[in-house]
Structure 1
Amino acid sequence: MTFTLTVSDEVRALAPGFTHVAIEAYGLANGPSTEASSALLDEAARRLAARLDGRAPHEDPHMAAWRETYTAFGSKPSRTRNSAEALAKRALTDAGLPRINLLVDLYNAVSVAHLIPVGGEDLDRVQGGMRLVRATGEEDFVTVAGGEEAVEHPDAGEVVWRDEAGVTCRRWNWRQGPRTRLTEETVSGIFLLETLAPLPVVQAQAAATELAELLEKFSPGARIEVHAPVSAGTPA
């Protein structure tokens, strides 16, 4: 992997059933949402509804596992939902899923269809590699509040993704910071699919393959590399 992702021993101990699959992508073509990306989001919502078959998203075994893990590091999962559950909840409303930009639409569609948290970071905005750690509480998380830049700090013990400059995503995969998010100018990205037991690893691989194929379809000529799944018991 050209880009480094590491998972701390403390996070491995907290969630021994954690697995992540990374996709590196270079030469991407991003832009505003399109009719095609919008259609993918609508189809993802239909796939989700069929998968849940009348259940609420949090009743899915994979989402229940994420709720247990959030509780384990001191977060309240009914207030700060993992990204897949939050998207799924929106997908089932009349308003439906938000349209952000082409690349975000693609990974949100895969996230909702498979009920797997998926995130994307602009590699040109990430400083150094990314690490999944339990926060000290002193790290900076640069966000926007009231239309202005603001600095927050995670709770001590909270699981966060961070780079050399600070936190890039709070509460594991709850809220991404604007510094590294995918914008319409993004040309290089790292996409991360995160799963917990009891979801089989092969389902994470299938979701990653689907996302990689979509990236290739919407960014012809891009260099896409899907990395092998990394579990909590495997060095990252």
Structure 2
Amino acid sequence: MMDDIQVDEAIFELRPDFAVLVMTARGMKNGPTDDRARAWLAGASAQPVPAEKIDAWKDAYRAFGAKPQRTRPSVDALTRRLPLPEINQVVDAYNSISVRHALPIGGEDLDRYAGPPRLVRATGEEASEEALGTPEPGEVIWRDDIGVTCRRWNWRQVVRTRLTEETVNGLFLLERLEPMTLEELKVAGEELADLLTELSPGVRISSRLISAGN
């Protein structure tokens, strides 16, 4: 599946600096927030948030017609909720890395996908859950063979693919724009892999970088 994940060329035409580090984690064990996860959340919540990275995502939203003050990029919304809320161990892990690096990260249940994830510009006819509404033509969305999995790039995911305490095989999408460097993106991925391995010592992690020309 890893090789089948796609970012449409139209995305790179919109933002040539976009890159996504795709990670799969198979054989995860998840559970309610514990003291270890609380420490991750507290450490991330105490760090200053670099505004220039958030601003880059706001600019990207405006480029496809979204209003970032109304539907905020995920990392912007997350940093406005500090101290970070407790969700579950795996979500706490990737939320802490997201805030540490001001990096949007999506966590998904891989087994609930129908076909490979694709990042595309919407036609406006894609199936979507009622709570999210139908994407607008030209909107940046993640989707699979059924329909939308996340609207407005990383604004909000559907319930169908949400990562829960029952998730065994996870998909993580770490989305980068400049001024974040590809090296920092790599480091963030390694940090997330370390936390997932700490939670599930037997987890099997694979990753792939997708960027313009790659």
Give the TM-score taking structure 2 as reference length: 0.95
Other-structure match for 1:186? 167
Q: Which of 92, 95, 101 is 2:88 aligned to? A: 101
1:135 Cα shift?
A: 0.5
Other-structure match for 2:210? 230
For 1:10, the aligned partner's letter is A
- 2:7 and 2:210 in contact (8 A); partners too: no
SS of the equivalent of 1:68 reads helix
- 1:140 and 1:152 in contact (8 A); partners too: no
| 1:53-92 pair list within 5 angstroms | 60-91=51-82
Other-structure match for 1:137? 124
1:19 Cα shift?
A: 0.8
> When the two structures are aligned, how many residues end up with a matched partner?
214
Q: Which of 101, 105, 116 is 2:103 aligned to? A: 116
Mark the CA change 1:85 to 1:129 in structure 2 (over 3 Å): closer, same or farther.
same
CA distance in 2, matches of 1:44, 1:226: 23
Q: Which of 148, 171, 174 is 2:155 aligned to? A: 174
Runs of 4 or more, structure 1, over 6 Å off, are none
- Is 2:125 the partner of 1:155? no
For 2:201, the aligned partner's letter is P
For 1:190, the aligned partner's letter is L
- 1:25 and 1:223 in contact (8 A); partners too: yes
Other-structure match for 2:37? 37
For 1:127, the aligned partner's letter is A
Unaligned residue ranges in structure 2 (runs of 5+)? none
SS of the equivalent of 2:76 reads helix
- Is 2:177 the partner of 1:196? yes
Unaligned residue ranges in structure 1 (runs of 5+)? 53-59, 145-150
For 1:70, the aligned partner's letter is Y
SS of the equivalent of 1:141 reads coil
SS of the equivalent of 1:16 reads coil
SS of the equivalent of 2:118 reads strand
CA distance in 2, matches of 1:214, 1:119: 15
CA distance in 2, matches of 1:38, 1:142: 32
1:4 Cα shift?
A: 2.6
Mark the CA change 1:211 to 1:178 in structure 2 (over 3 Å): closer, same or farther.
same
- Is 2:7 the partner of 1:16? no
- 1:30 and 1:184 in contact (8 A); partners too: yes
Give the TM-score taking structure 1 as reference length: 0.87
SS of the equivalent of 1:87 reads helix
1:3 Cα shift?
A: 5.8
1:152 Cα shift?
A: 2.2
**Identity percentage of aligned residues:** 49
CA distance in 2, matches of 1:3, 1:85: 30
1:12 Cα shift?
A: 1.3
